[in-house]
Structure 1
Amino acid sequence: MTVLEHLSVESTELDALARRARWHIVNTVAASKAGHIGGPLSATDLLIALYFRQLRIDPANPSEPDRDRFILSKGHSAIGLYTVLALRGYFPEAELATFDHGDSRLQGHPDMLLTPGVDSSTGSLGQGLAVGAGMALAAKRLGKDFHTWVMVGDGEIEEGMVWETVISAPRFQLDNLTLIIDLNGLQQYGWPAAEGDRFDRSEPMGHVDLEAVFRGFGWNTLSIDGHDWDAILEAYTTVAENRGKAGAPTVIIANTTKGHGISFTSGTYKWHNGIATDEQLELARTELAELAEEGHNE
């Protein structure tokens, strides 16, 4: 029987892994001429910490029945997940070069029938939390100890199906379910603006007191800086300590920056997706290397 244990990678190593992941994201999308940038980059630190410090998984045995589950509900950020899965050892990093190719295991949205380590196919926004709640409920009914994690985007939580699950999960006392909201505050499109840009690109849910809303529905809530390793790890530790005891699901509201980590992608809706030029790729490589030399804690 497989022994499932989480890793204990130091914060400095997490930082190096995050820089490597960010390089893979921008470089892979540029090479494939398709893909998203802003959302994967805002989620990178959260994913790196999850896979290298928290999840009880075995990359050599992706279908181990007792493994923790993770669902990337904002499936358009697939390249971010693929990059972390490659770094964690589910498949070679070189395979990232096949991203979004017709015969690749790494399609533009996660496909659980193709990609090792993908626990649910996603892409149609709003569905991942319901699937995760189903997995968590099944674990309860079967007496299994695995934990289910779901990541959604802030734009995604405009979907009504998300709130149906937010309402129902506490009724089933799913303390083996954790939702991470990547609250990067920007979306590709938005509401019509009175002046200037055609749209107000700020995410409407970014202007809502989400902690109060989730608490009102019976969730345990944590609000963190989604680029601060100490804050991320402390939140994950809290979830682990409450595993099977809290009596209710937990939401981690992670305040992030869209396109974080690279100057020309950071904080702009224009890099929701996009193809970096050769000059931009060189700039990204230089900036990520400079962060490494400075020992920067993103």
Structure 2
Amino acid sequence: MNSFLLLTLLLLPVISGCANQAFFSPSNNDMPSKEVVWLDSLSGNKIAYRYYHPTNPSSMPSPEHRGIVVHFHGNSGQMEQTQEKVAWLTDYGFNVITFDYSGFGHSTGTATDKDAYLDAISILNYINQYNHQPLFVVATSTGSNIFLRAWADNPIEIDGIILDSPFTSYVKEAQFILSQSPFGKLYDWFALVIMRDDYAAEQSLHRVPESHALVLHCEEDSVVPFEFGETLYQQLKGNKEFMAFDDCRHARAMTGDHPHYQQNIAQWLVNTEQYVRQNNREQATQMIAYNE
């Protein structure tokens, strides 16, 4: 993300908010796999999603298996590339849903912060149909920002969240990226002029519902600073845990690059699922309709 964002920030005219699109670097495939389906979004676009089933359903604890995990991916690629961060959870008995924001993969439209926000609300409305079983969200990097803001505005019941390499302000993240370039400290203020946080999570964190939460961050993350993850962790309500990693790159802790981390993360998820079932999960919160 950082080199593309830096170049775009430097080349865009100084018009407030115009640079937010620099956060989104979608890619597309020529042909979707047969498992890809589409959902109408509040953005006016059709967003593509895919459902992964547990690999060994006969060994699962209930007909519903362990529950649903929904992935909000980051700012680049598309779901059939980023699924490596979550599809392996099917080995632990979870159903997994991946999707693409507008303009990504096989979703229609253009990638913008507003459309991604509306897509996220649409996905939350969609997954609320699964509120009779444990429901979890994994949100990666920019996906954490998108998810948390949408969830604050549309607080369905979610039993557990995993935030990987998170940040909650487009402006502050852009400032950090600018500051990492040569002589960056001389013009990191530029982000304050051209970026916006209209659809960011930072000002809405006090409205994020209480849930079991796991925050992951690599200590040497060169894209999203470690302190962003620490700060967000401190602001979350509910039963929470922080996992700091010392030998990973940005947003790679949940991939096959680090199988030991995957085991620890899966164990947290299984423990949370078991706790949720044992404590008689309540019905989902009434959805709040989006009003612009």
TM over 0.5: no
Q: TM-score, normalised by structure 1?
A: 0.36
More helix by share: 1
The higher relative CO (CA closer than 8 Å, separation ≥ 6) is in 1
Q: TM-score, normalised by structure 2?
A: 0.36
